[in-house]
Structures are given as structure tokens and as C-alpha cells.
Chains A and B, each alone.
Chain A
Amino acid sequence: MEAIEKIKEVAAQAVPGAKLEIINSTPAAQQPALLVDRDHIYAVAKFLKEDPRFQMDFCSCVTGVDYLQKADNPGFIEVVYHLYSVAQKHGPIILKVRAPRELDQCRVPSLTSLWRGAEFQEREAYDLYGVRFDSHPDLRRILMWDEFTDHPMRKDYVPPADYEWEPTPHHDTLERTVQVGGITPPTAREELEKARKK
């Protein structure tokens, strides 16, 4: 398969107006990825699926990545698609698309209509990262219960205050439990006082 630069060039020709960028930055990713803007991700994905040179007929993985706010950027949620071609035995092409972290603006187009297999994985990304996939056929939570209101894989997620006092000689857990009002034994405060004095 062609190098990512070539793919970018071809895709830019096929989808006029698409803002494409090659991302090399994260060492963990191993392979360079193609960052596409939100308005053209669907067209680019469709092109990669249908073009006889690529025939990316299999979307193996959809996931979210949370980038917190840093000095030089306001932070964003990134959705990553890994595409393979079973027909031509090549891949992956990694597509990335970014959306703002704010829950009401965190929307990207769904690619479920191109790859049916993306449906559950997009639901997972919605559940855990709060990314809303526009025109997804059935965007509900998939792992957490429906009444749940958080998106726990976001880095600013605060877990529920269900810390419990554990019978260890370390009183840090007890400190934390009492602080957040978690479940404590009846003697918790006494024990904590004793531990603080020591």
C-alpha cells in the first residue's frame, strides 16, 4: 500500500476542500495517521472504502482519546478509526477526527453507514468519552447503565465517592473515605483520630 503521504494526496484530490494532516507525534501510535476535519471525514472514509486502490472494507477499531487542555491548545477529544482491507490484504490506515471537549459540541459524523461494525464501537466511544455521533442509528450507552450521566474515560472524570475503609495499617484510605463521605465503620472517626495522633 502507498505511503501515508500518497494517501493524503489522493484523498485530497478526491475530496475537494478536505483539510488533511499527517500526524506523527505520538510515539505509541507507531504508524502515522491521517487527521481529517469533521466536515469531510465521512467523504474521505467513503472514498477510502470505495476506491479500488484502497478498498478499506473492514473497520477494525473505533476509539476515543481524550487530550486535556494544555498551554498551547484548548484540548480536544479525538476519535480514531483503524481501517483494513480484507480484499487487498493491506492496512491499517488510521483516520483521526477531532472535536471540542465540551459535551454539547463534542459531535462527529458517524461512519456506521459505511461499516456496520462501527456501530457498537461508536456507542462505546459515546458511552465512555461522550462523543455524539451524528446520524448514528442507535446511539445509546453500551457498557454503563442508561441512567449514568458521566463519561468515565475522560481524564477529568471524578469517580463516585464509594471509597471504603479497608482494614490495612495505612490510614490514607480512611482519610479519603471520611473526606468524601464514603462508607465507613461506626468507629471510623475514632480510628482516624488515633491514627493522626501517631
Chain B
Amino acid sequence: MAVDEGLRSELQKQGIFVLPFEQLYNWGRKSSIWPLQFGLACCAIEMIASAAARYDLARFGAEVFRATPRQADLMIVAGTVTKKMAPLVVRLYNQMPEPKYCIAMGACAISGGPFKDGYNVLKGIDRYIPVDVHIPGCPPRPEALIHAIMTLQRKIANQHLETENRLRWYDKNAETEFPIPSYGDHDLQPPANCEVWQPPRSYRDVTLDEVKKA
């Protein structure tokens, strides 16, 4: 950045703030993340607790839960995503305006959790939409959700408007709508969107490879 750090802090003491537009813009965005108001299972109760007085999500500017996707910036997938619900969750995400973010809250939302082997539960919402922050736990405590919001705030603060890793919103070629799976005879079709999700590789093999390369 062009402005010298020392000069900047001197100016700040005089009440003059010099900062790039990007930083100001991101500060505004990260201080008013409005989540979409919906919960799918027990984790939603913890989400509600984080928004209530004791944990007070309002401290992070994220207390305005919007009841419509058109006004929301953040989708907190709090709870078990059944296969019947999954297409609707993807549709809601598609309806949110860019720039939009997604937090997968709890074991169920990140992987299917205790119901992973079930015929009726999606094995993680990241199979259909890109997830920015995953929170493990069953359910995660409100502190964990707050931590996730702070992590997301850090992520937003570091996003660029112009350079290569610019916001999806400003990238004309980027995907902003994600295909909605359809109800099949036995399962959702397709069972995962391989553009946003790939199955993880064996942890053991990955580390060995990487060790060898290093």
C-alpha cells in the first residue's frame, strides 16, 4: 500500500483516516453480515441462542436475521439437511444476492453427522454449494458459531475487489447459480455436484505424498 504506516498512524491521531477504498468497503460488509433466517434441526436452537441476549450476535453486526434470501448475505445451514430439503436449500442459496457466504454449522451440515449412513440425509451441504466456514460439533456451542462469524469476517476483510482472487460477484465468469438436484427414484440426482465438491483423499496417503514431495 502506498501510504507509509508511520504517517498513517500519525494522521490517525489527528482523526484523519487514510485507507484504500477496498478496506473501507470490506469493513462495511463484514460489520453487517445478515444471515438468512432458517434452521433445520437441533443446531438451529444453538444458532438462536447465539442471537439472543446472552451471546449477542449483534456485537458482530450479524443480528439481523432476514426472512427472505433476497436480503441475506449469509446462509447458516444449521442442522440436518435431509435429501428432501437439500434442493430447497440450494434454491435459497441461489436466490441470495452476491456476495454471499455459507456457514455449515454442526456435524450434520458438514457431513451428515450421526445420520451419515441414513438413506434420507445428505452427507454434507458442501456437496451442492460452496461452504466458507465449517463448524464441527453436535451441536456446536454459540461460541463456536461466533468464532465462525469472526472467521468469516476475517475472510471478508481479506477479499479483493479487483485482483485475481476477486469476489465472485465481480468475476464475470464465475458461477453464481448452483445446479439444483432433482428428486430421483431412490436418491437425489446427481448425488453431488462434482464442480464444487470432490471426495476427500485418504489422509494417510496425502500426507505421505506430501512428505515425499517436500
Given contacts A183-B191, A191-B201, contact A159 B119 (CB under 8 A): yes
Looking at the assembled complex, report how far the CB atom of A88 sits from the nearest CB atom of chain B, in whole angstroms.
Answer: 37
Among listed B15-23, B57-65, B155-163, B181-189, interface-contacting one:
B181-189
Do the beta carbons of A167 and B202 come within 8 Å of each other?
yes
B187 contacts across to A, CB distance below 8 A: 160-162
Distance of A162 Cα from B203 Cα, bound (Å): 21
User: B125 on the interface (CB 8 Å rule)?
Assistant: no
Do the beta carbons of A185 and B185 come within 8 Å of each other?
no
B194 contacts across to A, CB distance below 8 A: 183
Cβ proximity bits A144-163 to B, threshold 8 Å, 1 near / 0 not: 11111110100001011110
Do the beta carbons of A164 and B201 come within 8 Å of each other?
no
Do the beta carbons of B120 and A185 come within 8 Å of each other?
no
Do the beta carbons of B186 and A146 come within 8 Å of each other?
no
Given contacts A160-B119, A167-B200, contact A149 B186 (CB under 8 A): yes
Chain B contact residues: helix, strand, loop or mixed = loop
Chain A contact residues: helix, strand, loop or mixed = loop
Do the beta carbons of B198 and A185 come within 8 Å of each other?
yes
Do the beta carbons of B186 and A167 come within 8 Å of each other?
no
Looking at the assembled complex, report how far the CB atom of A146 sits from the nearest CB atom of chain B, in whole angstroms.
Answer: 7
Given contacts A143-B120, A152-B120, contact A169 B84 (CB under 8 A): no
Do the beta carbons of A185 and B186 come within 8 Å of each other?
no
Do the beta carbons of B199 and A144 come within 8 Å of each other?
no
Given contacts A143-B120, A183-B192, A183-B199, contact A194 B205 (CB under 8 A): yes
Contact of A184 among B84, B120, B185, B199 (CB under 8 A): B199
Distance of A164 Cα from B198 Cα, bound (Å): 10
User: A51 on the interface (CB 8 Å rule)?
Assistant: no
Do the beta carbons of A148 and B183 come within 8 Å of each other?
yes
Segment 112-145 of A: residues with Cβ below 8 Å from B: 143-145
Do the beta carbons of B191 and A169 come within 8 Å of each other?
no
Nearest B residue to A192, CB-CB: B202
Distance of A188 Cα from B200 Cα, bound (Å): 10
Nearest A residue to B204, CB-CB: A169
A167 contacts across to B, CB distance below 8 A: 200-203, 206
User: A5 on the interface (CB 8 Å rule)?
Assistant: no
Contact of A191 among B119, B183, B202 (CB under 8 A): B202
Question: Interface residues, chain A, CB within 8 Å of chain B?
Answer: 143-150, 152, 157, 159-162, 164-169, 182-188, 191, 194
A-B contact pairs, 24 of them (CB 8 A): A143-B120, A144-B84, A144-B120, A145-B83, A146-B183, A147-B183, A148-B186, A149-B186, A150-B185, A152-B120, A157-B119, A162-B191, A164-B199, A165-B199, A165-B201, A167-B200, A167-B201, A167-B202, A168-B203, A182-B191, A185-B199, A185-B200, A191-B202, A191-B205
